Amino acid sequence: MASDKDDVLSTPGHLISLTARSFARLSEARLKPLGFAPGHLPVLVALRDGHADTQRDLARFAKIEQPPMAQMLNRMERDGLIERKPDPTDGRIQKISLTSMALEQMPMAIDALVKGNREALIGLTNEQKVQFTGLLVHIIGNLDQMVQGETRSSS
């Protein structure tokens, strides 16, 4: 008979956590030579696609708190990936944009990440890949709702 510990290590949450850590290690290894980190991806995409251009909006888009976003933006600015300029209509706000270096390197970074995902899913059919992705999106939605409920009930 399996122990509770064995059962816990077989739960979807634990397996997803292991998967995420493995993807993060692979992404780190492939992105570092290009000057990026895995955590930069939501910021890079949001800035490139025009979804956000302030620290507050980037934090919302990336679903992280403002203090870690501020630290990440400071590192990205130091590394020459972003630049900040005062908002002409509100001096309290800084507009953030990608540098030409970041824009030039992004296609290679995205290719590296796509390749890693493709390699990780070897052996799955296209239908299984679509289903798996859909299931993950659904689980993320469930978890987001649960976290919002927990946050409201603890305030």
Is the backbone of residue 80 left (phi > 0), alpha (psi -120 to 50) or beta? left
**pTM, rounded to two decimals:** 0.78
Q: Of 103, 109, 100, 116, which is closest to residue 34 (Cα–Cα)? A: 109
Residue type, 7: D
Query: What pLDDT digit, counting tens, does each position of 21-52 carry?
Result: 999 999 999 999 999 999 999 999 999 999 99
Q: Which two tokens stand for residue 79?
A: 């590394």
Q: What local confidence, expressed as pLDDT, does residue 149 receive? A: 85
Name the nearest CA neighbour of 75 among 45, 112, 38, 108: 38
CATH 3.20.10.10 assigned to 32-120: no
pLDDT in tens, 37-96: 999 999 999 999 999 999 999 999 998 999 999 999 999 999 999 999 999 999 899 999
Answer for the pair 47, 98: CB distance below 8 angstroms, yes or no. yes
